Amino acid sequence: MKKYLMTNMRLKTSILNDFNSKPYIVCTLLFLFFGQINETHAYEPNTGHAFIFSLAIEQFLSCHQDKKQSIPDINIFTKRLIQGNVAMDKSLGWNIRDRLLLKNASVFSFQTRTRNWHFYNSKQQKHAQVANINQSMTNLWDEALVGFHENKKLNDKLLFVGALAHLLEDATVPAHITPIYHGPTAIKFLNAKQMAKLVNYMKERSDSRFVIHDNLDKYPVEVSKLRAKLRQKTSCGSLAKSENSVSNLLLQNERFTQILLETPIIECSNFVWKSFWTPPKENEYFGRYNIENENILFGEKGNLTDSNGASCSFDKDDVRYREFAQKLHLQAIETDVRLLETLLL
């Protein structure tokens, strides 16, 4: 409890403490300017995160009809969960009641997000802190979990369940668990020595001059196909795993994504999916996109090449891209279901 109070107070007073801090002011301006650009998120909030989580909620309610019957209004239940999920990128908006009466509402605030990013690599966490910015999602994760336990009303708790689901979903994005920075390139003004290198190498690409995009964020969530796969692949019993603590779910998604990145690319036996994303060096937090030798980024048409001259070709709407993204989406959905089961049953 003492740790919670200290952390919560630190988050709530961050504006006053850092108002005269140049890095904080620059960071705030950056996110005010770029905050609505979809590519700065992991999955796009309304068509990525919301669709993935909606499928998870649907699966959860289908698996647990008794829970469904005990919920007064399914629409409000679902809406509140998704509101909390999307709020991790877009805040709670102008809902005065939530802002004033919700305990730990600061986890959804714009100010908190500017200083706590959504990347995660459990092996590189000691390198995540740069000045007053935590480049990982760990603070947000801890605070969302505290918010779930501190708020007593179900409708309030649901917001924090949505927040945790959002971060779980982020952990199925390769650029978030490798991790590789994407977002406004102006972060280099926050700390030129440490952050300029996160964006300067992408100057070679004209489309990354102001914002570095991650194409996987924009890959459509194929709702009907995913719904069919959920029916085929799993039963309710296989989704429920009582030994899973909430924190283990985050590690599971990280491991799943890392293992998938080591999977060979079909028709390109010399390449694995990690070929698109270069891991960080031992003493660094962020890796980089593999754009050496004019390599394409994930989702683009063209070639990947390696140091031996081998090449792997992709079409613009390559089926291999879609299948790779679908595996990540399915993992996010199934882990979301486990989260709902762990916290709400």
> Which residues on adjacent β-strands are paired with residue 130?
133
The pairing of beta strand 288-289 with beta strand 277-278: antiparallel
- Cα 307 to the chain's mean position, in Å? 31
* Region of poorest pLDDT, from 150-159, 229-238, 264-273, 281-290: 229-238
DSSP 314: E
HSE-CB of 59 using CA atoms within 13 angstroms: 34
User: How many Å from the N-terminal Cα to the C-terminal Cα in the chain?
Assistant: 24
* Cβ neighbours, 10 Å, residue 317: 9
Query: Is the pLDDT reported for residue 194 higher than 60?
Result: yes
HSE-CB of 146 using CA atoms within 13 angstroms: 20
Reading the block at residue 119, the tokens are 């990347």
| Best CA proximity match to 15, nearest among 31, 4, 28, 2 | 28
Residues in CB range of 134: below 8 A, 6 or more apart:
115, 116, 117, 128
Reading the block at residue 56, the tokens are 């998870």
Report how far residue 173's alpha carbon sits from residue 255's, in angstroms, rounded to the nearest whole number.
11
Residues counted in the chain? 345
Question: pLDDT by residue (tens digit) across 109-142?
Answer: 988 988 999 999 999 999 999 988 999 999 999 9
Amino acid at 225: K
User: What pLDDT is recorded for position 2?
Assistant: 41
Report how far residue 35's alpha carbon sits from residue 28's, in angstroms, rounded to the nearest whole number.
10
Query: What is the residue-averaged pLDDT of the chain?
Result: 85
Question: pLDDT by residue (tens digit) across 209-266?
Answer: 899 989 998 889 999 999 999 988 766 765 555 445 898 999 999 999 999 999 999 9
Reading the block at residue 275, the tokens are 């070929």
Residues in CB range of 51: below 8 A, 6 or more apart:
221, 223
